[in-house]
Structure 1
């Protein structure tokens, strides 16, 4: 009995030693590769101190109002690459990275949309960029720019929502939404510790080129390198933790924007039922479920367009969720026209 126990203890000790060495090796590998990536791909903009963290701000062009680009969940300034410089030909355009994303420093806790708005306002102020601002929010970023307006209405001249998330999401109408959110949160939560060991990097889970992309190879390489930071996984975990609070059926609807100029851009491929059916069959998904989700999405986009008495809603044909990448020229034309048609602010 004693011999068997000793042998099991030796196996356990051996396994723990091997596991510890593997973890140490992975941690060192991740740290060295991250350091090399940051050296190979320095931030294209400038680092600005905000509440003890350095946030990355990337501005081009000149003029007023300033167009401020707010990226979606887990995204960074490079997601705007196809439109950033084009828009900057006629106006000042600033993209930035939320804490932990892109080149920005991480912060430990999950932050609410109101805190994202306050960080953004402090970032712009500290960078010497004065209002008024036209805020452009993609996906989850749509919630953040609406929070900015609610917190700083006097600084906001207009809002563009780019296939924006709705505060309530589909959970009130779609019975599997809670499961979808929890499944996504579980996957990200697993990815976060694995990223510390370099496993996410080795498996290419965070690679930016996992889908066909209009982004050039050098931008995809930089985006992949930055998304492989452990800080990115931490930041996404934090944002999803806040997003899951929206599963509460008492979540209030999005707040009115009064008569603020508002442009809503909706991804046509995601609400066209014929396209949705075709893609569902191709991917082996349940066709009727995907159609229900598409109808919910369109209803949400219409609801967002009705938040303001001065709004326009455009469904962008031949575009997926990343409208600014899939239909860059149409995106630039719509945003330029929107800004030019705004009443002048003294």
Structure 2
């Protein structure tokens, strides 16, 4: 008769031996995972530092009080167009539109703190300070108001904060599928935020960077001009931009609430709202199209709310563009911005 923990025949293990073996195996896995994690983090830090030397900023680094903000400035003329990209995006996301806009008037693309070439953020909710950083940087760079402000997605929050704090410096606003402070009305919004934030936090960017350095295909946007593709990839993989993107994503509900508290109607300030289409080219399967239709049932009323902020507004729905309208229909975005410039130009 064999008792638990005894050897039950040749080559068999008792429960005690099995538990010990499992414990040692789990410990080995944990040690290996920890070592790989540390190696990934070390390679990520080294790679980020290397890439900041390898890819200099295309614009100017402006001191805003002991910190530097990057402004990419092209063209000449008034009023100046000032573009604020989306969550986790750098100025390179609008690089393809810059020549057409700069041919008409001075155009500035803004890297808010922690994104692109700007210095790191000082606190998790730093996006709420972006409007002040932007104004200081514009004044320091000699870009005079009033401005035509353009904001994509969460960049639209910066526009509203700027217009609330400095209404006399705003000539007009163009919202490109902009975020809305009441996005919690979208079904499953909070759950999606938590899920996306957790998934992004779990990625080992050092491993992804190593694979890119070894020659594997790198993540890139086809909308970014080829001459900036390598810099775009380096920024996306950089620890500074990754950290800022994660905070903006994880705290977007709190950021939205704060924007709602600090902002209000825009009076007669000219506004153009560009909204994505139900014919999103990225929605290719039946399930994706069904989810898109469900999303737009909440999204379209929020976009109409943005247009209703002003008594002088236009609301344009793209024909075939997803959330990144400036990627799918860049000519529509360029025309909307230049139309605003002509509307407000003396």
Q: TM-score, normalised by structure 2?
A: 0.83
Q: Distance in 2 between matches of 1:222 and 1:319?
A: 25
Distance 1:28 1:325, change over 3 A: same
Q: How does 1:199-218 map to 2 (within 5 A)?
A: 199-202=207-210, 208-209=219-220, 213-218=222-227
Contact 1:160/1:265 (8 A) holds in 2: yes
Q: Distance in 2 between matches of 1:9 and 1:177?
A: 40
User: In structure 2, what is the equivalent of residue 282 of structure 1?
Assistant: 285
Offset at residue 115 of structure 1 (A): 1.4
Picking from 125, 135, 150, the partner of 2:149 is 135
User: In structure 2, what is the equivalent of residue 330 of structure 1?
Assistant: 332
Contact 1:34/1:229 (8 A) holds in 2: yes
Contact 2:282/2:322 (8 A) holds in 1: no
Moved more, 109-118 or 132-141: 109-118
Offset at residue 111 of structure 1 (A): 2.5
Unaligned residue ranges in structure 1 (runs of 5+): none
Q: Distance in 1 between matches of 2:31 and 2:294?
A: 51
Distance 1:85 1:17, change over 3 A: same
**Residue 90 (str. 1) matches residue 110 (str. 2):** no
Equivalent pairs counted in the alignment come to 326
Contact 2:79/2:345 (8 A) holds in 1: no
Q: TM-score, normalised by structure 1?
A: 0.83
User: In structure 1, what is the equivalent of residue 87 of structure 2?
Assistant: 73
Q: How does 1:1-346 map to 2 (within 5 A)?
A: 21-111=35-125, 113-169=127-183, 171-172=184-185, 174-191=186-203, 194-195=204-205, 198-202=206-210, 208-209=219-220, 213-245=222-254, 255-268=264-277, 272=278, 275=279, 282=285, 284-285=287-288, 287=290, 289-342=291-344, 344=346
Contact 1:62/1:92 (8 A) holds in 2: yes
Look up the SS of the partner of 2:97 in the other structure: helix
| Aligned-CA RMSD value | 3.1
Offset at residue 220 of structure 1 (A): 2.3
Q: Distance in 2 between matches of 1:283 and 1:188?
A: 26
Unaligned residue ranges in structure 2 (runs of 5+): 1-16
Distance 1:64 1:285, change over 3 A: closer
User: In structure 1, what is the equivalent of residue 6 of structure 2?
Assistant: none
Moved more, 15-24 or 259-268: 15-24
Structure 1 or 2, whichever has the larger Rg, is 2
Contact 2:180/2:256 (8 A) holds in 1: no
Offset at residue 188 of structure 1 (A): 2.6
Look up the SS of the partner of 1:264 in the other structure: strand
Offset at residue 143 of structure 1 (A): 1.3
Distance 1:339 1:97, change over 3 A: same
Q: Distance in 2 between matches of 1:113 and 1:35?
A: 24
Contact 1:134/1:160 (8 A) holds in 2: yes
Distance 1:235 1:92, change over 3 A: same
Look up the SS of the partner of 1:214 in the other structure: coil
**Which structure 1 residue ranges, 4+ long, deviate > 6 Å from structure 2?**
6-17
Q: Distance in 2 between matches of 1:114 and 1:281?
A: 36
Moved more, 289-298 or 82-91: 289-298
Contact 2:151/2:176 (8 A) holds in 1: yes
